[in-house]
Amino acid sequence: MEKTIITVVGKDAVGIIAKVCTYLADNQVNVEDISQTIVQGYFNMMMIVDTSGSPKPYAGMVTELDELGDAIGVRIRCQREDIFTKMHRI
């Protein structure tokens, strides 16, 4: 199981979640958890996904999600979960 955290931050608009989820479904990435808040008027979403079933190379996914973010006016980051668990869990 290779868990990845996807964060989406930006001005709220219709269809952000739909577009991100469509991309993930197209690439066989399974969504395990979604949490979403509005922080300081900004749309702020975090997804925990499993990329182990995806044929797409990791670097390719990072770049494509970044481009998708540009296209819909939000910032999409895709990072392996370890960086967060290592920093915040002993």
Partner 1 sequence: MINILEVNETNKMIEQEKLDVRTITLGISLLDCCDSDLDALNRNIYDKITRLAKDLVSTGREIELEYGIPIVNKRISVTPIALVGGRACRSPEDFVEVAKTLDKAARDTGVNFLGGYSAIVSKGMTPTDEALIRSIPAALSATERVCSSVNIGSTKTGINMDAVKLMGEIVRETAEATKENNSLGCAKLVVLCNAPDDNPFMAGAFHGVSEADAVINVGVSGPGVIKHALEGVRGENFEVLCETVKRTAFKVTRAGQLVAQEASERLGIPFGIVDLSLAPTPSVGDSVAEILEEMGLESVGAPGTTAALALLNDQVKKGGIMASSFVGGLSGAFIPVSEDQGMIDAVNRGALTIEKLEAMTCVCSVGLDMIAIPGDTPASTISGIIADEAAIGMINNKTTAVRLIPVIGKGVGESVEFGGLLGHAPVQQVNRFCCADFINRGGRIPAPIHSFKN
Q: 1, 14, 15, 35: which one contacts partner 1 (CB under 8 A)?
A: 35
CB nearer partner 1, residue 22 or residue 36: 36
Query: CB of 33 within 8 A of CB of 71?
Result: no
Dihedral pair phi/psi, residue 48, rounded to 5°: -105, 120
CA count, 13 A, side-chain hemisphere, 4: 22
Tell me the window of 12-20, 22-30, 78-86 that interacts with partner 1 (CB under 8 A).
78-86
Q: Binding residue for partner 1 (CB under 8 A) from 1, 14, 15, 39?
A: 39
